[in-house]
Amino acid sequence: MTAPGYAANLPKLYAIRLLFWMHFFSAVLVPFYTDWGGITLQQVFLLNAWFFLCNFLFEVPTGTVADFLGRKWSLTLGSAVAVLGVFLYASAPRIEVFVAAETIMAVAYTLHSGADEALAYDSLKADGLQALAAAVIGRMEAFKLGGIVTATILGGFVAARFGLRAPMLATAVPAAVAMVLALTLREPAQRPAVGERRSYLQILREGGRRFARHPVIRLLAVEAAITNALAWGIIWLFQPLLRRALVPLQAFGVVHALGCVAQIAFLARIPSLEQWAGSRRRLILLATLASGAAFLSLAATTFWPIVVAGIVAGMAFSLPRIPLFNAAINQHVDSSERATVLSFCSMVRTLAIVVMNPLTGLVAQRSLDAALLMMGASLIVLALASRVGDEHLAELQHTRDG
């Protein structure tokens, strides 16, 4: 009897992405920290920097776990750890509790990071469908954003009915379902047999060497990291911006959801947008310029329709570009090292946020307008100075692993 194709993993991976990212607390995250938790906005930025520092420290070891134990078990463990993390967040309104919870959640996130994309790519390759990688990875990101949208909208109602702590607790439910679903995944047969599998340290060493010695991977990873770190500030600034524009609190989640829907629309139309722009490189260039212009517009007015439009545009054009870079990176790395190299690339992105977040928080604490001007102008300059070419982003006719 012929075994079903490994592409059967894809619907499950889509569902796991959606469930794992159903963060009900996202609609009221800043009030959760500042009102219920009693910390300042600058402390929120520092706390988030700590989270990304933990991501940086854990990214490579957990990515290597995915290579060594299997992507299935990495996703299963990551979902289980997330359940523990959200319960800790909601246990007590104390900064030290938040620091511990951020550390635990970083483990959960890094166990997922790269593992699901690597499993998706290898599942496609096992069925001879690796040419679909860019579309599949983009669809996975769209499901992630779908989970965020759903949870953001529902989270506002949960908070209004049960308080700011309730959305955090509710987040444990979809994470637990994702854990159960991950147990049903099948690992592609091309993974090394247990007796032939390289040691943990060997995988780590060879994955790191691939990243260090491959100029295309480095170029793509650094380009994605710097622009993503600059744009990331909008995640923490959009609620203060809405408050300054006198937008009602209950609308915060709706604006966040609109930003996520705009990202989903961007991802869903990548092929047509590439055709319209003329190439993937031009699409990324135009998206980066548009996000920079959106941030500049947010510094120029407090008129709420323009503020809402600027937030939505900033999210739509700046945050969903990572799947385009990851799809290109996948073309330049061997299957057996894919999860580890993707983890290295993710590690570079998180390190950039660790460096940028405290600076953005410090500037924003003094002036929201100054922070937005810094973000917008820097994105425009980086876009115009980019060294990424069409040859780095195009789908390869022959992958390195055959």
Q: Which of left, alpha, beta for 34 (phi over 0: left; psi -120 to 50: alpha)?
A: alpha
Q: What is the DSSP string of 326-360?
A: HHHHHTTS-GGGHHHHHHHHHHHHHHHHHHHHHHH
CATH architecture of 8-184+198-393: Up-down Bundle (1.20)
pLDDT score recorded for residue 17: 93
pLDDT tens per residue, range 61-80: 777 777 777 888 889 999 99
At 14, phi and psi to the nearest 5?
-60, -45
The dihedral formed by the CA atoms of 199, 204, 206 and 207, expressed in degrees to the nearest 10: 130
pLDDT score recorded for residue 33: 92
Tell me what the mean pLDDT of segment 230-257 comes to: 87
Q: Which of 39-53, 169-183, 267-281, 327-341 has the highest mean pLDDT?
A: 169-183
Q: How far apart are CA 305 and CA 236, in angstroms?
A: 19
Give domain limits for the chain.
8-184+198-393
Check whether 160 has a pLDDT greater than 70. Answer: yes
Amino acid at residue number 151: A
Tell me what the mean pLDDT of segment 389-401 comes to: 51
Check whether 297 has a pLDDT greater than 80. Answer: yes
pLDDT score recorded for residue 307: 94
